[in-house]
Amino acid sequence: MNARVIFSAEAERFARTIDDQQRTIESAQGHVQALEAALAGQSWRPALRAARRVVRLAWWAFTPWRLRHRLQFLREQRRREEAGQGFDLMRDDLLQEAAGLPVRGRLWPLQAPEQVTERWSAVRFVLDRLRTDADLRSRFPLALSQPRESGFADWLLREGPLASRLSSPARQALATVLDDDPGARPRQIFLFRDDIRAGMPLGLTPPGQWQLFQWFMHHGRHEHSLRVEEILWLLMKAAERPALEVLRAYRFTPAWQQRHPDGLTVFGRDAFAQWLAGSYRLKATDWLHAPSWPEDLSPAQQLRQAYARRSFWRALHPDAMVDRSSAAAFVEWLRHEAPALTDDVRAWCRALDVPQVAAELAAGGINVLGHFCSPSGVRVSAESLVEGLRQAQVATSVRDLRTDVQDEPHHVDFDGLEEFDVTLIHTQPEPFFPIAYERCDLAPRSPKPYRIAYWYWEFDTVPRSWLERAAGVDEVWAATEFVAQGLRVRLPVPVRTLFPGVRLGDFERRDKRHFGIEEGTFVFLFSFHMNSVMERKNPLGLIRAFRRAFRPEEPVTLVVKTMFGHHRPAELQQLRDAAAGARIQVIDETYSAQEVLALTAACDAYVSLHRSEGLGLTMAEAMLLGKPVVATGYSGNVDFMDETNSVLVPYELVELGVAMPPYDADYNWAEPSVDHAAAAMRRMVDEPDWARELGARAKASAEARLSVEAAGRRVAARLAEIRNLRAQEGPRPDA
């Protein structure tokens, strides 16, 4: 090749580079104009996005010497995607390139053992060890997925070459990090963002990680205050078990579940894997080979899913899920006679323990959709029901019904499918009941199961809109007879009273000082959720009673514990104003269930001057903790409170007079006597022996009446009745 040809080629390449840079500059100018427009409209989110684009494009425009590296990066990424290998999370330069950041060495300086002092330095230390040592990754391929089981935790804390340089606080921080999963929060955000999951359902598998990492770095990190360490931990953990991430993606993608209802079973996983590969243009890889997938369902669960999918099976064996002998005959039929089974599926069926599987199929169970990650009384109710059922030996398939991205980051842990013939939807008619399946990331089962709604209410009648909600269920359960009576007035479906039971979870006892409460004072407590209509909870009435009972100089304190005050700032300020100048402490924080119990245990008495309650969970918990309770003698709490185990405050039944959504103006509720409440509180302080005796009676009574185990037996009995009725009715048509 002569010099003229070489020069011509170089000139052409240089001209193309100049053109590219010019186009980049023009694009940057366009984004600058977008930025100016966004700022003029005072819309900070579009402005922020435009600003980031300007910075990124400017960097590309004025660093042409990085062009070769960028092209190499894009080619390498495409090659790895086509090979099913995914994103190389160990190279800082590729991470920075994918994030649109200037490539400047490491993401953070290598973390020395002596620098590990708290959570995030511990996270960086763990990631550094794995990212810089390929041999270590090979030795502990499940280091982040199973840090304890794989031996990685022991190596890191005791056996590794740097273990001797770790201080005691460092060891504690590392142990906590390995047990807590720092990647839980970004995973939760990914699961809550329907728009992002719809665009990249395989975002946590090798071919999708690059795109998901870019979204996290460009948008999710800023919108949800995420740290790079959290994002990287999630992606590295997911990369350890890509096949498991495929199964998780299925469990939280309703469209996949609907298209392949038995996609996780031996009967349908090959078809699902082939469809997945074809739909998303995936190359054949180990993690996409269905027979090598981890056993995600037990044999009985797989048979239930396949049975629901195949009307032919159901027609031939209609009692296979009800009667043990019929279930055994069904399994034997699969082992020897069922048509259209491949050799490997037939071999799987022949390896089954027929008596055991038949017993599991015939025993049945219940699917429970509820708020298992949102701190609320409804969550505690759902948890108690599930625990009672498990104690009664009833199988449950549990699904979290998400409310807000700030829910505890464990949505992924509640991944049960709708495998049984009965489903309990434990959420209020508004706002989530109509979209319960969507909020659970679950495709409704076909044939349609027997659906039960579990609803709470605080009045003797319910809104007319609940009629429409009730049309989609077969019956409704209520926690107390007070709630049930209000539901029966309006609803056309059967309403049954099935108390969920109350249990005290494990918690660490704390002294008063831990909560900022002065030691040596007698402490009354009231807890409520600011979104539960403050007028109904009536903390202002309680404050008036407290002020009437005690002088400011007396060693008596009232603690009013609430949460989500930022949702209702005017009401929170009203509460603080009412408390000003008295020994009243307002705590507006979101506590875990364990922290709430610790606070209740640290106080001396519990008071609720509510105007109406569906259940009164906080009162029940206080009684189980042996605390004397003063409460309005009206509504759901009188199912378990009486004159022998508590102080019931007299009341007048009054009309609301004004609408307080969701309550209408013509509803009635109680107006408790402030004078009687003040006298009862005064007596508790003046007669401590009487108060302690009342607390002891409360504890004994609550343990006898509120047992989760007894509640579980009652619910199990009702489920048995439902199964018998359905067996008599015959199979339901497909939904």
The domain spans of the chain are 3-62, 113-180, 253-297, 299-363, 364-497, 512-706
- Is residue 335 within 8 A of residue 320, CB to CB? The reply is no
Give, to the nearest 10 degrees, the angle between helix 324-336 and helix 343-350: 140
Q: How far apart, in whole angstroms, are the C-alpha atoms of residue 191 and residue 698?
A: 43
Residue 725 phi/psi, 5° resolution?
-65, -45
3-state SS record for 4-51:
HHHHHHHHHHHHHHHHHHHHHHHHHHHHHHHHHHHHHCCCHHHHHHHH
546-574 b/e with 16+ CB inside 10 Å = b? Answer: bbebbeeeeebbbbbbbbbbeebeebbee
Q: What architecture is the 364-497 domain classified under in CATH? A: 3-Layer(aba) Sandwich (3.40)
Q: What is the pLDDT of residue 257?
A: 97
CA torsion through residues 128, 132, 138, 139, sign: negative
Cα distance between residue 200 and residue 185, in whole Å:
18
364-497 and 512-706, same CATH topology: yes
Check residue 597 and give its pLDDT: 94
Residues in the chain, pLDDT under 70: 1-86, 730-735
d(CA 137, CA 143): 7
The pLDDT of residue 127 is 97
Residue 275 has which token pair? 């469809």
DSSP 8-class letter at 536: H
Q: How far apart are CA 695 and CA 628, in angstroms?
A: 4
If you count DSSP H runs as helices and E runs as strands, how many of each does the chain have, helices first?
A: 33, 14
Helix or strand holding residue 524 (H, E)? strand 522-527
CA distances from 220 to 213, 216, 224, 225, 303 (A): 9, 4, 6, 8, 40
Q: Is 626 left (phi over 0), alpha (psi -120 to 50) or beta?
A: left
Query: Residue written as tokens 């948008």?
Result: 219
CA 461 – CA 91 distance, rounded (Å)? 63
- Any idea which residue has 């439902």 for tokens? 722
Q: Which of 717, 715, 695, 718 is nearest to 707 (CA)?
A: 715
Amino acid at 42: Q
- 512-706 adopts what CATH topology? Rossmann fold (3.40.50)
Q: What share of the chain is helix, strand, coil (3-state, %, to 5)?
A: 55, 10, 35
pLDDT for res 5: 37
Q: What gap in Å lies between CA 189 and CA 183, rounded to an integer?
A: 10
